[in-house]
Amino acid sequence: MRLLVSGGCGFIGSHFIRYVLEHYQPEAITNIDALTYAGSLSTTATFSSEFGDRYEFFCVDIADSKQVSRVLAKHSYFAVINFAAESQVGRNVINFENFVRSNVVGAVTLLDAARQNGVKRFVQISTDEVYGAQGPTGRFTETAALNPSSPYAASKAAAELAVLAAHKTYGQDVVITRSSNNYGPFQFPDKLIPLMIAQALADQPLPVRGGGSQVRDWIHVEDHCAAVFDVLMKGHAGEIYNVSADNERRTIDLVRVILTRLGKSENLIQFVADRRGDDARYAIDANKLRSTIGWKPLKDFDLAFAETIDWYRQNRSWITQ
């Protein structure tokens, strides 16, 4: 069985490729990535030597139908898993067009090419941000209305609607996952956790937005990858699955843990203005995934978060790239 993974040089996509190739035989994976700001060949640098011809890479823009079709014609693929996305929320306020091209046009291009080339299943990787802000209590289920607050979230919601339309119109076998915030090694350095660690290690101010009161639901990237693979193999066509480990934390509390772990003073915290389109709290209910597919997270948050901090401390070249 061969899989095509888009965005496989990014944080979550590269972890997914490693997860599959390490845990399942004889799966083979083709990785396509345009290597934009968040995609780095360093995340997959050892894959060819570790996995041999079970892994191959092509630099491809998923919004370019000719490039995508050429790759899909090379093999008979069981599934396309679309991790590729512009995801830095701060950038979407500056240039919405890039987000539409990558996240909407790119998804539709991949979707069409998969259908035309006889790919059995299409997996769209989405985000809990499509729901918009949750109040101080409660969790969104998969049937909740879409109410995105940022251009990024709107582009991911649009891609989802296109994927579901392909299922309804053409009978295409599709599934969608909506994940909470991921953490772990190899995350792009301008994301919250590696950024805070980098600033602390350099004894520089840690810019915390809006007083740090934002609440996010965190999942280790390896638990997320296991969920995606389970949905790929066991999910029902046309269905959506929330992926959450039920680890809600305030930003300020995460920052304090980082400072404590690194032996740094809280005087480094510098409160800055909130970001436009930022929501106060995200929280999703993953009971559907747990009960119908049998997935559950394996990582203990406190232990895995401490290990993540230590990884960045030991790999300073990554967070200063």
Which residue in the list 56, 86, 129, 217 is annotated as catalytic?
Answer: 129
Question: What are 174's two structure tokens?
Answer: 């599709």
Reduced to 3 states (helix: H, G, I; strand: E, B; else coil), residue 55 is strand
Question: Are the beta carbons of 153 and 127 closer than 8 angstroms?
Answer: yes
Cα distance between residue 63 and residue 281, in whole Å: 32
Which residue in the list 128, 173, 230, 239 is annotated as catalytic?
Answer: 128
Question: Are the beta carbons of 12 and 83 closer than 8 angstroms?
Answer: yes
Reduced to 3 states (helix: H, G, I; strand: E, B; else coil), residue 56 is strand
Cα distance between residue 289 and residue 305, in whole Å: 23
State yes or no: is 152 an active-site residue: yes
Reduced to 3 states (helix: H, G, I; strand: E, B; else coil), residue 150 is coil
Amino acid of residue 101: R
Cα distance between residue 100 and residue 48, in whole Å: 32
Cα distance between residue 59 and residue 7, in whole Å: 10
Of 203, 307, 182, nearest in space to 257 by CA: 307
Cα distance between residue 271 and residue 282, in whole Å: 21
Q: How far is CA 187 from CA 123, 138, 311, in A?
A: 22, 29, 11
Which residue in the list 55, 77, 131, 152 is annotated as catalytic?
Answer: 152
Q: How far is CA 314 from CA 296, 308, 311, in A?
A: 29, 10, 5
The burial class, CB within 10 Å (0-12 / 13-18 / 19+), for 204 is: exposed
Cα distance between residue 284 and residue 288, in whole Å: 11
State yes or no: is 129 an active-site residue: yes
User: Catalytic site residues?
Assistant: 128-129, 152
